[in-house]
């Protein structure tokens, strides 16, 4: 799509990684810090995850999680990225000994599911938790523990996978329907462009109920963002780590980590 950009090997293709963490988890519970890292993906794979090629470009720290106000914090970053794409900046190449115009683009964000919700401004909680299936998310409300569980995962298998026809091993019904396709960038933009953004706690309840998407993601300010088909990636290893943390925390009954609460019982 952008051959002029792609032809220059010194242009940066960046991945943006972001997650909330508490560096002093064992000391205080009310500190949340959100580091934002930029990774350069168009250098060799054995280098791009090295520490010296990662850029900590921003750090959000505060007593509470930033939630959807995250956009306000991200504004200066998006502005810079916009400049880097539209005009570029002059950078000195010490190896060749000349100045050149450096441009950069973000081609995806890498995060866990909760940060995904923050960045794509989709509510990843409650019934319609899947940002792809949206209102077609298959869920069940458990009667006693009042938790939502998500079902019908077999539709993500290959069309003729043998599991799809098995009934007894699963919930008694076959699953023949296919998985939904994610929306392309411009389709998503059409969907969210008219949403009025209200930041802070004054957000009206009815407004939030009408749209599953609460606002337009900040990243749509980047001119190329609508041309990306996969905009947000889930870091599977990180999600697995979170699941393992919860499992171990529950099995060993670690205070603050265990999920064995009253509702679960
Ligand atoms: Zn889904």
CA of 182 to the centre of ligand 1 (A): 9
Coil/strand/helix, residue 63: coil
Tokens of 79: 């502005």
Is residue 208 over pLDDT 60? no
Q: Residue 263: exposed, middle, or buried by beta-carbon count in 10 A (0-12, 13-18, 19+)?
A: exposed
CA of 65 to the centre of ligand 1 (A): 25
What average pLDDT does this structure show over 149-170?
82
Quote the ligand 1 centre to 120 CA distance (angstroms): 15
Q: What is the mean pLDDT of the chain?
A: 80
Separation of alpha carbons 13 and 59, rounded Å = 21
Residue with tokens 């009934």: 167
193 or 163: which leads in pLDDT: 163
Cα of 122 vs centre of ligand 1, distance in Å, is 13
- Token pair belonging to 218: 């900040």
Distance between CA atoms of 145 and 179, rounded to whole angstroms? 29
Chain centre distance of CA 94: 36
CA of 152 to the centre of ligand 1 (A): 9
- What is the number of alpha carbons within 13 Å of residue 96 lying toward its C-beta? 7
Higher-scoring residue by pLDDT: 170, 54 = 54
- Model confidence band, residue 198 (pLDDT cutoffs 50, 70, 90): low
Do 223 and 82 form a contact (C-beta atoms < 8 A)?
yes
| Residue 89: strand pairing partners | 102
> Residue 263: which pLDDT band, with cuts at 50, 70 and 90?
confident
Stretch 100-110: mean pLDDT: 89
Distance 37 CA to ligand 1 centre (A): 27
Q: What is the distance in angstroms between the CA of the first residue and the CA of the last residue of the chain?
A: 54
Q: Determine the distance separating the centroid of ligand 1 and the alpha carbon of 126, expressed in angstroms.
A: 13
Contact status, residue 108 vs residue 15, Cβ threshold 8 Å: yes
Q: Is the pTM of this model over 0.85?
A: no
CA distance 111 to 236: 9
pLDDT of 201 reads 56
Structural contact between residues 147 and 129, judged by C-beta atoms closer than 8 angstroms: no
Residue 59 makes CB contacts below 8 A (sequence gap 6+) with 33, 34, 35, 36
Q: Kindly tell me if the per-residue pLDDT of 250 is higher than 60.
A: yes
Q: How far apart are CA 159 and CA 89, in angstroms?
A: 48
Distance from the alpha carbon of residue 219 to the mean position of ligand 1, in angstroms: 22
**Strand, helix or coil for residue 17:** strand
pLDDT for 69-80, tens place per residue? Answer: 777 888 888 889
Gap from CA of 183 to ligand 1 centroid (Å): 12
Query: Separation of 144 CA from ligand 1 center, angstroms?
Result: 25
Residues 6+ apart with CB under 8 A from 106: 14, 15, 16, 38, 81, 219, 222
Comparing 47-56, 85-94, 116-125, 205-214, the range with the smallest average pLDDT is 205-214
């Amino acid at each position: 799509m952008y051959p002029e950009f792609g032809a220059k090997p010194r242009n940066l293709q960046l991945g943006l990684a972001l997650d909330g963490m508490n560096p002093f988890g064992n000391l205080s519970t009310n500190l949340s810090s959100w580091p934002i890292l930029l990774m350069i993906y168009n250098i060799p794979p054995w280098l791009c995850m090295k520490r010296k090629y990662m850029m900590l470009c921003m750090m959000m720290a505060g007593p509470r999680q930033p939630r959807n106000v995250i956009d306000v914090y991200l504004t200066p970053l998006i502005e810079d990225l916009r400049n880097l794409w539209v005009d570029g900046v002059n950078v000195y190449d010490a190896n060749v000994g000349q100045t050149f115009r450096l441009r950069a683009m973000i081609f995806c964000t890498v995060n866990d599911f909760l940060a995904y919700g923050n960045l794509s401004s989709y509510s990843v909680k409650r019934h319609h938790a899947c940002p792809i299936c949206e209102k077609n998310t298959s869920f069940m409300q458990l009667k006693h523990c009042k938790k939502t569980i998500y079902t019908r995962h077999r539709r993500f298998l290959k069309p003729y996978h043998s599991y799809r026809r098995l009934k007894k091993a699963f919930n008694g019904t076959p699953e023949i329907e296919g998985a939904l396709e994610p929306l392309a960038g411009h389709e998503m933009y059409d969907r969210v462009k008219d949403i009025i953004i209200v930041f802070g706690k004054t957000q009206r309840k009815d407004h939030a109920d009408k749209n599953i998407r609460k606002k337009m993601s900040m990243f749509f300010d980047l001119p190329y963002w609508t041309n990306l088909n996969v905009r947000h990636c889930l870091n599977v290893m990180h999600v697995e780590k979170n699941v393992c943390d919860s499992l171990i925390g529950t099995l060993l009954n670690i205070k603050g980590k265990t999920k064995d609460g009253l509702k679960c019982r």
